[in-house]
A and B are shown apart, each in its own frame.
Chain A
Amino acid sequence: MAGALRKPQLRAAALVLPLSAFILATFVAPLVTMLTRSVYDPMVADTLPETLALLHDWDGQSTPSEAVFETASREMVRAREDRSLGRVATRVNRVESGLRSVIMKSARRLHRVKEVDSWREAMISIEPEWGEAKTWRAIQRAGERITTRHYLHALDLQRDADGSIVLQPPQRRVYLPLLKRTLAVSLGITVLCLLLGYPLAYLIAHAPPRRANLLLLLVLVPFWTSLLVRTTSWIVLLQTEGVVNDTLVALGLIADENRISMIYNMTGTVVAMTHVLLPFMVLPVYSVMRTIPPLYMSAAASLGASFPQAFRRVYWPQTLPGVGAGSLLVFILSIGYYITPALVGGQSGQLISNMIAYHMQQSLNWGLAAALGSILLGCVVALYLLYDRVVGIDRMRLG
């Protein structure tokens, strides 16, 4: 019996094998690599192993011993020769700005030094920073193979001199305000999509079949249209010299020199994203509404409920699984949205994903980008769990 069952099971497994392999190679593997990058960085540890071993016994406050200086100078000169020192300096510099030139300049000079009485004095005379404990602490921190520094950085936290974790001063906070803004904007877009999408879904669900099909098509056509085309259409509509402003000026509602800036700011981001994400709200809500038998509403009416009453007590609760699914979908999609804010967000309409893109493409601080990405992923997972706890994920219906 077991043997007879195993064969079809194996065949089924073989059929999904290509898909599993595909997901593993294109989704799971890169995800794991990125998550690893956010906590694991062996570059400095591999380049200056002996220095870091010696620093292990250092008290963290005084000037390190002569042996540390001697080893550090030897390892730095060697790393300079095989051209890995630049990348080490970049990493140390991210912990403590200003140390890049200290390291590079010292290595360049030490390269020529063959014999000295005291490496400590030699290095301090090249760059006085070598006499300071914080320089060595920065090297120690950059030398952590497994590190939390990217996460601290991504949450605007820093370590102070005695190693405790504190918040950055307000003017230097970058990511927390952006994360808060991203969450707030995503919430706003979700609410907007619900307000706009729910009546539309209701209309489609209750229209005669032919009109319903037409309406559904009108929802789906933008959904099938390229994201870039839709976003750039908003630019055409909303820009200062755009259709909307031209119309307002032509109608005499606003003066030519007072054209409203509706794009390249937060308004642009919210408008374009709401439009782009609207189908993700309409479709689940619509498909849930379609399964609600019209009899329920008639029954409520026949029992004397007014339409608002019947709607509130009979109809709305039954659409909640669709509303939940649509809201969760829209919120999760907007948290990580990148292209639309990048195109129409200007300065003030940028979200956290644009900062991730910046660190991936421009500053090339992949560790930090990975940490920011992981935090976003964490937000989504937390939200999912919260939803499961409050509503129950088995109640969610996508159609």
Chain B
Amino acid sequence: MTKYRFKDRITPSAGAVAIFSLAALSWSQNALGAESVTAVSWGGSYARACTKAIHEPFTAETGIEVRMEDYNGGLAQIRAQVETGNVHWDVVDLEMADAVLGCDEGLLEPIDAAHLPPGPDGTPAEEDFFPETLTECGIGVVYYSTIYAYNEEKFSGSKPATIGDFFDLEKFPGRRGMRRTPVVNLEFALMADGVPMKQVYATLDTPEGVDRAFRKLDTIKEQIIWWEAGAQPPQMLADGEVVMSTAYNGRIFNAQILEKQPFVVVWDGQVLDWGQTGIVAGTRNLEAARKFVAFGARTESMAAIGRYISYSPVRRSGTALISTHLETGVDMKPHMPTTPANVARALHSDWEWWSDHSDEMNERFSAWLAR
């Protein structure tokens, strides 16, 4: 049901290439003694921020090389690797619900939080991390949020300001981009339909609530262009393919600041979430992967990401370290999802609800899309 991707079709040959290169790799590792970890993340400007803020300093400090791969989320690839015993990913950036599911099913290595680096003032990691950002197999990385942004040039009169405006085709006509998944979209739909933030998940817990969310999505379905990779929305907005799109806030920030795009972020109804780093069970580079995760869990590492992209640290000690954008000097605070003015209008994503209902909702969403 998923959109066909070329990547999927060439899997057998890609698999063969991977096996050969792995064989070559392990041989060269033995021969040269160089360690490496394969880190899998979300690509685009986020991956770039991670490379600059974590991978490069990590390699400089430990001598362990970091190889990057991109993916679009989900556990399918990890599950395939673990179940076939051919694990070539070591560390993966995961969505919260996937980190928990993957842990429960034994796809991820448990990580002992006691071994994580303490805060700069010596506060143990377990106390320094914000609640829920440490799980059995997952270490929180940064807070990010799904917002919607619009292209300012497309609206001459009044501008969209609320989540309701995203669903208002009369006031703001034009195509909209949305991620091809029920996650976040159902929440947006309910909030736009007037459900108070505090009752969004309680409403989704009832069959009528889910119907209501889909009915609301129905009202704009004809105008939606679906995206899958986080790098797509800024591109679609820039090309004029859509007039507004849901997006990860950091991607829009990068387009605004680095590419000077006339995009405006609407914080109303933002769905706040945090990324998790997990280690794939059965990795051959377990020790290097542990070192890598511990390095990324340092307050300074998280804060360093926040100097490239507008995602904020999940450690209390990190909040004070939010400063300016390294390349342009722009103050990061107004762009962070956790800044008080922005977070006041945020819905906190309920990963537990999604870990319970993602199967059911994905199925329903596919059926709805195909209708």
Residues on A lying within 8 angstroms of B by beta carbon are 83-87, 89-90, 93-94, 97-101, 104, 171-174, 177-178, 228, 339, 342-343, 347-348, 350, 354-355, 357-358, 361-365
Contact = CB atoms under 8 A, between A and B. Distances in A.
B4 A83 contact: no
Given A83-B106, A361-B2, 10 more contacts: A83-B105, A97-B359, A98-B205, A173-B367, A174-B367, A178-B367, A178-B370, A350-B370, A361-B76, A362-B362
B22 to A, nearest CB: 22
A12 B367 CA distance: 52
Contacts of A350: 1, 370
Interface stretch (B50-58, B284-292, B350-358): B350-358
Contacts of B74: 362
A348 B369 CA distance: 7
Nearest to B105: A86
B76 A101 contact: no
B59 to A, nearest CB: 33
Contacts of B70: none
Contacts of A99: 356
A104 B351 CA distance: 14
B104 A355 contact: no
Nearest to B224: A347
- Closest 9 A/B residue pairs (Cβ): A86-B104, A342-B4, A358-B1, A86-B105, A174-B367, A83-B106, A97-B360, A347-B369, A343-B4
Contacts of B75: 364
A178 B371 CA distance: 9
Interface string B89-123: 00000000000110111100000000000000000
B76 A98 contact: no
B370 A86 contact: no
B29 interface: no
Interface in B209-228: 211, 214, 226
A355 B366 CA distance: 9
A100 B360 CA distance: 12
A363 B362 contact: yes
Contacts of B106: 83-84, 86
Contact of A86 (B101, B205, B366): B101
> Which of B79, B100, B363 is the most central at the interface, judged by chain A CB atoms within 10 Å of its CB?
B363
A363 B214 contact: no
A348 B367 CA distance: 10
Nearest to A264: B3
A90 B366 contact: no
Interface in B289-319: none
B359 A93 contact: yes
B233 to A, nearest CB: 18
B367 A93 contact: no
B327 interface: no
Interface of B: 1-4, 8-9, 74-76, 79, 100-101, 103-106, 205, 211, 214, 226, 352, 355-357, 359-360, 362-364, 366-367, 369-371
B178 to A, nearest CB: 12
Contact of B366 (A89, A97, A174): A174
Nearest to B360: A97
B356 A101 contact: yes
A301 to B, nearest CB: 52
A347 B4 CA distance: 11
Nearest to A175: B367
Nearest to B368: A171
Nearest to B357: A97
B83 to A, nearest CB: 9
A342 B5 CA distance: 8
A173 B371 CA distance: 11
Given A93-B359, A98-B357, A171 B214 contact: yes
B209 to A, nearest CB: 13
A238 B110 CA distance: 50
A142 to B, nearest CB: 13
A93 B366 CA distance: 19
Given A93-B356, A172-B364, A347-B369, A104 B104 contact: yes
B2 A362 contact: yes
A356 B208 CA distance: 28
A101 B2 contact: no
15 contacts: A86-B103, A86-B104, A90-B101, A93-B356, A100-B355, A171-B211, A174-B366, A342-B4, A343-B4, A347-B226, A355-B1, A358-B1, A361-B8, A362-B1, A364-B76
A350 B1 CA distance: 7
Among the interface residues B2, B76, B359, B360, which one has the most CB atoms of the partner chain A within 10 A? B359
Contacts of B364: 172, 174
Contacts of A174: 363-364, 366-367
A94 B1 CA distance: 18
B370 A347 contact: yes
A99 B355 CA distance: 10
A146 B367 CA distance: 28
A348 B359 contact: no
A83 B102 CA distance: 11
B10 to A, nearest CB: 10
A342 B100 CA distance: 30
B120 to A, nearest CB: 32
B9 A98 contact: no
Contacts of B79: 364
Contacts of B366: 174, 355, 358
Contact of B352 (A84, A101, A365): A101
B81 to A, nearest CB: 13
B75 to A, nearest CB: 8
Given A354-B1, A355-B1, A85 B76 contact: no
Given A171-B211, A173-B367, A87 B2 contact: no
Contacts of A228: 9
Contacts of A343: 4
A347 B2 CA distance: 9
B359 A363 contact: yes
A183 B226 CA distance: 27
Contacts of A98: 205, 356-357
Contact of B104 (A85, A347, A358, A362): A85
Contacts of B100: 104
A98 B214 CA distance: 19
A97 B356 contact: yes
B187 to A, nearest CB: 17
Nearest to B80: A361
A254 B181 CA distance: 34
B370 A101 contact: no
B370 A348 contact: yes
Contacts of B205: 98
Nearest to B106: A83
Contacts of A84: 106
Contact of A358 (B2, B105, B360): B2
Contacts of B4: 339, 342-343
